[in-house]
Amino acid sequence: MNLSIVIPAYQVEQYIGTTLGSLQRQTAADFEVLVIDDGSTDGSGEAAERHFAGLPAARLIRTGNGGVSRARNAGLAEARGDYVLFLDGDDYVDERLAEKIVEATGFSGSGERPPDAVVWRFVEVAEDGSVQADFFQGKPPLPKRLNGPDVLKRIFFDRNLRIHTAGIAYRRELLTEAALGYEPGCVNGEDQEFIYKALCRAEDVRFIDESLLYYVQRGSSVTYTYNVRKFDFADAFARTALELRTRNHPELDRIAAVLEGPYLLEDYLYTIRTCLEGGNGRISSLMRDIETHYPGLHGRMKERIRTCRAQGTPLPRSLRLFAASPAAYALLLRTKRSAALRGRTERSAGEPISTPSGAAGEGPR
């Protein structure tokens, strides 16, 4: 069997039909589907079983609620395919995905050594299916193949590549031989940690230069809510940097330094912003919560900022402002939000503004 598709399912009863429907329409049938019901109370497991008809092979595995990392690990332990793909229960894929993976992995009869991973593009869509963002628009075409360190170089240095959790399929033996798994209990950054740890071991990564994944943006997503556990990413990045340094590879050492420096700081500020926008906007409350759950984290971030500046590493002005005064940064965010709301109100009351075709979402936000 070429591919195992692992789908963690928690409270996705109204979405998982769309996810499984996209798999029912696949033009190649050499795959299995493993739905891991992570202790859902809304009937996600039953909804999944209703959509198993038409799938070449499908299994429902029920577990107690342990989080997405444990659910993915449970699916990986049960997977039988040569390759493993982790797909979320509210996203969906192009009908040619399985066929394209078969072609890319060499199981179509080319005789080449199977690659360690296959990567494809994705687009972010709203719940109604409309495209919200396409990172790859205007970027160079994806290469045919690279080794893992060069893939990471494109992510961290060239910044012209992003890999979504469900935008990559791994050779299962690569994962099992290295005993790779998702970090249990980590609620943010665990996907990046897994991807980077796998890629640093990959000798051959193939690319499909097509958008084959539709990443659904839901308003209830952890990204858009106040949840201090989102700062789990800081420990995930630290574990990843340590892993990269154990590979004794100069390029991976450079990537580890960036991951612990500007990359970490940018994610820190982004998480601060999304928490403020998803909560009551009080920076003092957020900083107290951070210190309670992650003692000393903010102090370490300020020290990283000082180190980066001493080394001449360019940092966004907003990050420097936050380091100098979190309250001033929060005020700046509130001012920008108020201006944006006023602008939308004025436009809705006046004449409509035309947007050139294909330019939706362009420009300052």
Domain extent listing, the chain: 3-220, 224-326
Q: Which helix (H) or strand (E) holds 74?
A: helix 68-78
Q: Which helix (H) or strand (E) holds 311?
A: none
The whole-number average pLDDT for the span 47-59 is 96
Question: Predicted confidence band at 338 (pLDDT cuts at 50, 70, 90)?
Answer: confident
Q: What is the pTM of this model?
A: 0.89
Taking the CA atoms of the chain, what radius of gyration do you get in angstroms? 21
Residue-level pLDDT at 233? 96
Q: What is the DSSP annotation of 31-60? A: EEEEEEEES-SSSHHHHHHHT-TT-SSEEE
Q: What is the tens place of the pLDDT at every residue in 128-148?
A: 889 999 999 999 999 999 999
Residue-level pLDDT at 112? 74
CA distance 184 to 249: 28
Residue-level pLDDT at 278? 82
| Predicted confidence (pLDDT) at residue 3 exceeds the cutoff of 90 | yes
Question: Per CATH, which fold does 3-220 belong to?
Answer: Spore Coat Polysaccharide Biosynthesis Protein SpsA; Chain A (3.90.550)
CA angle 157, 161, 167 (to 5 degrees): 140
Judged on CB neighbours under 10 Å (0-12, 13-18, 19+), 213 is buried
Question: Predicted confidence band at 359 (pLDDT cuts at 50, 70, 90)?
Answer: very low
Q: Which residues are CB-contacts of 250 (< 8 A; sequence separation ≥ 6)?
A: none
Q: Average pLDDT of the chain?
A: 90
Residue-level pLDDT at 224? 62
Please tell me the least confidently modeled range out of 113-127, 227-241, 248-262, 347-361.
347-361
Q: Which residues are CB-contacts of 138 (< 8 A; sequence separation ≥ 6)?
A: none
DSSP SS3 for 181: coil
> Which position has the token pair 């390759």?
83
CA distance 273 to 271: 5
> What is the 8-class DSSP label of residue 98?
H
